[in-house]
Amino acid sequence: MKGETDMPTPLLNDDGTASMATMFMSSHYGFRRDLAAFARALDGFTGERGDALRKEWAEFHAALHGHHTVEDTTLFPDLRGRHPELGTAIDELDEHHRAIDPLLARGDAAFANLNADVAPAREVIGRLIDLIATHLDAEERVVIPQLRGAKQFPQLPEAAMAEYAKGFAWSTAGLAGAVVAQIEAMLPPALVAALPAAREAFAARCIRVWGQAHTGSSVTSVPA
């Protein structure tokens, strides 16, 4: 875990540009932001927006599972091959993934029964906040330095643009404008063109779930 004097990890590189490290950490930011939002929504929950919260949990579960699948199948094996000295640290990150998976399954059951009993959902979110904080802190120490030099965003099929735009609308909501601008500078023009509509749709979704859209000016992977 990070020490008390450690600072949150900056999203941008030292030269002020984005990299694939920024892309991964914007997802980290989104996971931290959303877990905090779930905790606030469940505190004193009376049944209002129960259906919206259940749907949002499904979105969160899918996003986190997808993020971990990319790491398990692509990123971590690549790092093991290029940096054998990171093997033990990556093993620890793998163990975190295995510990998170059962909590996600418990979350599915808890949110399905949310209106009858909110306590299980609160417990799952509390445990996830702690475990994911430990995991993301470790990942940012081990993995993120290896991605700072990668500044080429992968080519995407045209059919994937809308789905990727949805993902970036989610992961950048509440980030500082300067960070968002550098992220967009890395993206293909067709993806950037799809972002305004995706952001409008995501803001409307947040209002349904949380009662307000995400705002902020974070420049690190931890919500400001």
Tell me the per-residue pLDDT of 55-113, one tens digit each, with 9 for 90 and over: 999 999 999 999 999 999 999 999 999 999 999 999 999 999 999 999 999 999 999 99
CA 206 to chain centre: 15
Place of tokens 């927006």: 49
Instruction: Determine which helix (DSSP H) or strand (DSSP E) holds 92, and give its type and residue range.
Output: helix 87-112
Choose the CATH number for 20-210 among 1.10.287, 3.10.50, 1.20.120, 1.10.472.
1.20.120
For residue 10, the SS3 value is strand
Q: What does the alpha-carbon distance between residue 218 and residue 221 come to, in Å, rounded to a whole number?
A: 8
- CB neighbours of residue 140 within 10 Å: 20
Q: What does the alpha-carbon distance between residue 183 and residue 12 come to, in Å, rounded to a whole number?
A: 9
Sequence ranges of the domains in the chain: 20-210
Q: What does the alpha-carbon distance between residue 94 and residue 72 come to, in Å, rounded to a whole number?
A: 8
pTM of the predicted protein model: 0.95
Q: How many CA atoms lie within 13 A of 181 on its CB side?
A: 5
User: When comparing pLDDT for 143 and 2, which is higher?
Assistant: 143
Convert the pLDDT of each residue in 112-148 to its tens digit.
Answer: 999 999 999 999 999 999 999 999 999 999 999 999 9
Q: Are 147 and 98 in contact (CB under 8 A)?
A: no
- Sequence-distant (≥ 6) Cβ neighbours of residue 46 within 8 angstroms: none
Instruction: Quickly state the pLDDT bin for 212 (edges 50, 70, 90).
Output: very high
Residue type, 9: T
Whether the per-residue pLDDT at 29 is higher than 80: the answer is: yes
Q: Which of 199, 182, 190 is nearest to 22 (CA)?
A: 182
User: Residue 218: beta bridge partners?
Assistant: 175
Q: How many CA atoms lie within 13 A of 72 on its CB side?
A: 12
